[in-house]
Amino acid sequence: MKAKDYRTPLEPVWCTGCGDFGVLKGLTQALADLEIPPERLAVISGIGCSSRLPGYTRSYSFNSIHGRALPIATGLKLSRPEITTLVVGGDGDGFSIGLGHLPHAIRRNVDITYTVLDNGIYGLTKGQASPTTEIDFKRSRGLAGPDERPLNPVLLVLSTGCGFVARSHAGNLPHLREMIREAIRYPGFSFVHVLAGCVTYQTPSYAQEIYQRCDVLPPDYDPSDLTAALDAARADRFQLGILYRRDPETGAESAAEMAGVAGVWKAHTGTDRGIEDVAHEE
Amino acid sequence: MNAPGTSSTLDSNTSRPGGETQSLVLALVGSGGDGVALLGDLLLRMAAQQGLYGMMVQSYGPQIRGGESAVILRVSRTEVLYEGDQTDVFLCFRLADLKRFQGAVKLHSQSAVILEQSDTAELPEWLGRSGRETFRYPFAKIENGIEVVGDPKNMMALALLIRVLGWPASLARETLGHRFGHRPDVLSKNLAAFDKAHGQAAPPAMPISPGTGKGLFAETGNEAVARGAIASGLRFFAGYPITPSSEIMETLVDELPPAGGSVVQAEDEIAALGMVLGASFGGVPSMTATSGPGLSLMTEMMGLSSMAEIPAVIVDCQRAGPATGMPSRTEQSDLYHAIYAGHGDFPRAVLGVFDVVHARNVIYKAFYLSERYQLPVLVLSDAYIAQRRQIRNPVAEHPEAPHRTVWTPGMGPARFDIGGEHGVTPFRVPGSPEGTYLAAGIEHTQEGNPTADGSIHQQMNEKRFRKLKAIEQDTKSWFKTLGAPSAPCGIVAWGSQYGILQEWVANHPEYRIFLPEILHPYPLEAFEAWRKNLKSLAVVEMSFQGQLHHYLSGLTDLRDALRVTRSGGPPLKTSELKRLLEEATR
């Protein structure tokens, strides 16, 4: 299957030039690379501009409520492990209203790929400051809200024990495709931070500025080194690439080790109503 | 698939409680660590093993061990759902601990009273007085005037109490063996204390008529909910610890994985219901359980369940009060929330639990409704049922678990086809080829695509609410009546009031009782037929606002009905019900 075969006929509601188009493209390309059958794919979101994305992917999709995509994906993946389960959403959805779920999804280490399309703004509600809005930008645009420092999503997920952490930006399609592909491949909870500029409530030039503040990690970067990852997360410029990848087999807190210790008691024999049974019942 | 059986499945509960000699009420009071809960549990197990019925309610501080603790245990030849008005046997290790249980313990002229030998405190006035001599026993080990840790008091008390009840020591030893067989050191220590006390003088016997000899089962309301759910097809549970519902999750942690299902302890109740919806989106029958504060957090997610047409069973073990309220106390004040809470219009069904036995039936019905109609179903239990341990007959398992109609390739209709019978369209389960669609909390077209078109919103509301009409037809017989159909005085109540009302109607033949098993949509036709020719009607419930009374007033004419209610706390007693009915009549 080709990338376009993972698209529904629906036309995205996004503004012309929105970074989310790039992510939709990169995501469908990654899915095509991995040859995941659409019926074995679930794309789940909360609410926001970027949360419209599941409607545009041919999959069992779920555009749920604001901030709650991670729990929904957790329930699906635990009860239907054979379904490739992706979560997409924005910075407000994931880092404000829904932030409480993120460390716990990481602790549970259920095999979900969470891609955040971070535009540093509430676009759907027309331009309020979000948890990742930079203070200088907020001041320059006169946005509502106190001068709170933005949070650092990559540092946050690293510090809570995420086994796979990558960053890319919506303007670098081949890189984005690779990051999402490798995240889906990772057997455990994986996190992809995508800088995706808003052309309406930020400016088209601001999106370009952000992209220009990015560096791809050097070839000799060791993604198994957590200290290096923490340094990269705290660097002044955005570091792109796989910042951290814990060995899922041997690394501390491997998937096998995590199963059953973080509040998940798994079925002893798999569900006795397998998909074949369920799908053919009437 | 037809709707599950009607009230006939509940008939095992209709036997009348016996008279004085047939039933005995024991009140056991002690400090934390005295083990009165274990003592009550052992006595209840022994009763069950002999084919006697009974129930036990506990009273202690909200979530914390320690402090004073009381157990009220009623043993009977016939099934009991009410712990009784008066105490036949009162055992207390320290009278200073009794203060908190005013009202729960009440002596009569023939009560046996067993106290600690060294306790010099006076019996409080409110306790009442027995004409019989108080029996004193040296439970406590005293050294230099200070109590130190000695032999287990509850084992000594067990030895005395089985002699009061006329039960053989061999039964107690066997029961202790079952309970502590895996910990030989604890068992031998307990047996030694038991044997030592059993050889001493005991209070006079008040033997209860023997049971059938055929063993019965003791179960709490929370265990019954958990096991009933597994039997009804539950394969995914997510919850967050909360009093008084936590034992549902604890039971499922032990018993669901061997049955092929998974359990998650979620980070909060929003996540718990979210996980349930995710699993159910995956085609797997799913449930969560909580109490009032958790239900409040789940409210937005309930709307999503209904809007995206994803089945979910939500159990609410009601506590008393708003916010934190009184977590370990019972009340019936989540009725409004269950029926009305949430923004926008959306259909849901609400069921009420009568007692431990009924819990299994009602959970089956909850799964039946949620799987068949693809919407959230709330099951209202309460602290009085949840934490009660009740002896019951064996329950008949339902031959098959309810299941939802599942879409298969070539079947046709869109996921949210507005033409579906009763508003229900076949469920597309992930993994099914060609079945991909968008489930959405945003208003959507038949295909699931987002829309802001008012006329589509109207059509989709009509489709979704056709389910409620169909459920109303399907559940017409989901109610229970007690008493003679021609009795002139009527009581309508719900949930755990069933227990006391069964006792009430046995002693007041002038009353007939109506108890809806489904609260929303309400079985109104049956209610109107039942209330014909009544001289008086009282709405009995435990909610300060009288939520059932108010709710029913919106459905039918209740202008002449008496409002018989109070805030939650301790369960109603028959003496109190009598007084409340009299006050309401005045």
| Residue of chain A whose alpha carbon sits nearest to that of B427 | A279
Residues B53 and B175 reside in one and the same domain:
yes
Full-prediction pTM beyond 0.80?
yes
Percent of chain B with pLDDT over 70: 95
Mean pLDDT of chain B: 93
Any domain includes B224? yes
CATH of domain A3-280: 3.40.50.970
Q: A49 — contact with chain B (CB < 8 Å)?
A: no
CA–CA gap between residue B515 and residue B497 (Å, rounded)? 9
Element (H, E) at B106: none
The full 3-state SS of A141-209, as one line of letters, equals: HCCCCCCCCCCCHHHHHHHCCCCEEEEEECCCHHHHHHHHHHHHHCCCCEEEEEECCCCCCCCHHHHHH
Q: What is the pLDDT of residue B399?
A: 85
Q: Is the pLDDT of residue B444 over 60?
A: yes
| Residue B230 belongs to domain with CATH number | 3.40.50.970
Any domain includes B414? no
Residue A258, CB-side half-sphere exposure with 13 Å CA sphere? 22
Q: Do B301 and A82 touch (CB under 8 A)?
A: no
| Residue of chain A whose alpha carbon sits nearest to that of B264 | A264
Two tokens at B257?
């994985």
Cα end-to-end distance, chain A, whole Å? 30
Strand partners, A43: A61, A86
Q: Do A64 and B264 touch (CB under 8 A)?
A: no
Pairing mode of beta strands A41-45, B349-352 = unpaired
* Total CB pairs under 8 A between chain A and B: 201
Q: Which residues of B touch A270 (CB under 8 A)?
A: 260
Average pLDDT value for residue range B116-134? 94
Residues B364 and B240 reside in one and the same domain:
yes
CA–CA gap between residue A119 and residue A193 (Å, rounded)? 11
Of A44, A63, A264, the CB nearest to B262: A264
Pairing mode of beta strands B489-492, B107-116 = unpaired
Q: What is the pLDDT of residue A261?
A: 45
Residues B278 and B202 reside in one and the same domain:
no
Residues B451 and B524 reside in one and the same domain:
no
Q: What is the pLDDT of residue B6?
A: 42
Summarised one tens digit per residue, pLDDT across range A87-142 is 999 999 999 999 999 999 999 999 999 999 999 999 999 889 999 998 888 888 88
Average pLDDT value for residue range B135-159? 93
Residues B122 and B258 reside in one and the same domain:
no
Residue B190, CB-side half-sphere exposure with 13 Å CA sphere? 24
* Residues of A (92-111) whose Cβ lies below 8 Å from B: 100-101, 104, 108
Q: Is the pLDDT of residue A47 over 50?
A: yes
Residue owning tokens 């004419």 = B557
**pLDDT tier for residue B69 given thresholds of 50, 70 and 90:** confident
Residues B147 and B205 reside in one and the same domain:
yes
Instruction: Kindly report the backbone phi and psi dihedral angles of residue B536, in degrees, each rounded to the nearest multiple of 5, phi listed first.
Output: -145, 155
| Residue of chain B whose alpha carbon sits nearest to that of A10 | B449
Which of B440, B474, B508 is the last residue in one of the domains? B474
Summarised one tens digit per residue, pLDDT across range A62-88 is 999 999 999 999 999 999 999 999 999
Q: What is the pLDDT of residue A248?
A: 84
* Residues of A (21-40) whose Cβ lies below 8 Å from B: 37-40
Summarised one tens digit per residue, pLDDT across range B242-262 is 999 999 999 999 999 999 999
**pLDDT tier for residue B32 given thresholds of 50, 70 and 90:** confident
Residues B512 and B555 reside in one and the same domain:
yes
Q: How far is A216 from chain B (nearest CA, A)?
A: 35
| Residue of chain A whose alpha carbon sits nearest to that of B441 | A64
Q: What is the pLDDT of residue B13?
A: 30
Domain with B579, as residue range(s), is 479-585
| Residue of chain A whose alpha carbon sits nearest to that of B256 | A267
Among residues A164, A127, A147, A124, the alpha carbon closest in space to that of A245 is found at A164
| Residue of chain B whose alpha carbon sits nearest to that of A79 | B279
Residues 6+ positions from B128 with CB-CB distance below 8 Å: B106, B107, B108, B111
Two tokens at A152?
């650092």
Mean pLDDT of chain A: 90
Selected residue of B232, B240, B246, B281 to mutate for chain A interface (largest A Cβ count, 10 A) = B281
Instruction: Kindly report the backbone phi and psi dihedral angles of residue A243, in degrees, each rounded to the nearest multiple of 5, phi listed first.
Output: -75, -35
Q: Which residues of A touch B260 (CB under 8 A)?
A: 267-273
Summarised one tens digit per residue, pLDDT across range B315-345 is 999 999 999 999 989 999 999 999 999 999 9
CB B67 within 8 A of CB B98: no
Quick one: B575 exposed, middle or buried, by C-beta within 10 A (0-12, 13-18, 19+)?
exposed
Residues B266 and B380 reside in one and the same domain:
yes
Two tokens at B238?
């997510």
Summarised one tens digit per residue, pLDDT across range B7-23 is 433 333 333 333 335 89
Residue B115 carries which side chain, given as an amino acid letter? L
CB B305 within 8 A of CB B312: yes
Summarised one tens digit per residue, pLDDT across range B487-539 is 999 999 999 999 999 999 999 999 999 999 999 999 999 999 999 999 999 99
Any domain includes B285? yes
Which of B166, B194, B215 is the last residue in one of the domains? B215
CA–CA gap between residue B94 and residue B29 (Å, rounded)? 8
Among residues B17, B89, B90, the alpha carbon closest in space to that of B54 is found at B17
Any domain includes B409? no
Residues B164 and B45 reside in one and the same domain:
yes
Quick one: B533 exposed, middle or buried, by C-beta within 10 A (0-12, 13-18, 19+)?
exposed
Residues B541 and B576 reside in one and the same domain:
yes
Q: Do B262 and A78 touch (CB under 8 A)?
A: yes
Q: Do B449 and A55 touch (CB under 8 A)?
A: yes
Q: Which residues of A touch B235 (CB under 8 A)?
A: 79, 267, 271-273
Among residues B313, B290, B291, the alpha carbon closest in space to that of B228 is found at B313
Helix, strand or coil for residue B86?
coil
Classify residue B332 by its DSSP letter. Answer: -
The reply to whether omega before B244 is within 30° of 0 (cis) is yes
Among residues B474, B491, B479, the alpha carbon closest in space to that of B538 is found at B491
Q: Do B271 and A104 touch (CB under 8 A)?
A: yes
Q: What is the pLDDT of residue A277?
A: 40
Summarised one tens digit per residue, pLDDT across range B561-578 is 999 999 999 999 999 999
Which of B474, B490, B505 is the last residue in one of the domains? B474
| Residue of chain A whose alpha carbon sits nearest to that of B280 | A76
Average pLDDT value for residue range B130-140? 95
Percent of chain A with pLDDT over 90: 76
Residues B452 and B568 reside in one and the same domain:
no
Q: Which residue has the higher pLDDT, A266 or B45?
A: B45
* Residues of A (244-273) whose Cβ lies below 8 Å from B: 263-273
What DSSP letter does each residue of B490-540 carry, written as one string? EEE--TTHHHHHHHHHHH-TTEEEEEESEEES--HHHHHHHTTT-SEEEEE
Q: Which residue has the higher pLDDT, B361 or B66?
A: B361
**pLDDT tier for residue A263 given thresholds of 50, 70 and 90:** low
Q: What is the pLDDT of residue B364?
A: 98
Any domain includes B415? no
CA–CA gap between residue B346 and residue B352 (Å, rounded)? 20
Q: What is the pLDDT of residue B9?
A: 31
Q: Is the pLDDT of residue B484 over 50?
A: yes
Residues B102 and B222 reside in one and the same domain:
no
Q: Which residues of A touch B259 (CB under 8 A)?
A: 272
Selected residue of B230, B232, B254, B267 to mutate for chain A interface (largest A Cβ count, 10 A) = B267
Number of domains in chain B: 4
Q: What is the pLDDT of residue B509?
A: 97
Q: Is the pLDDT of residue B90 over 50?
A: yes
Q: Do B439 and A61 touch (CB under 8 A)?
A: yes
Q: A277 — contact with chain B (CB < 8 Å)?
A: no
Of B272, B301, B403, the CB nearest to A65: B301
**pLDDT tier for residue B2 given thresholds of 50, 70 and 90:** low
| Residue B515 belongs to domain with CATH number | 3.40.50.920
Any domain includes B281? yes
Q: Is the pLDDT of residue B26 over 70?
A: yes
**Inter-helix orientation angle A19-34/A173-185, to 10°:** 50
Any domain includes B461? yes
Percent of chain A with pLDDT over 70: 89
Classify residue B429 by its DSSP letter. Answer: -
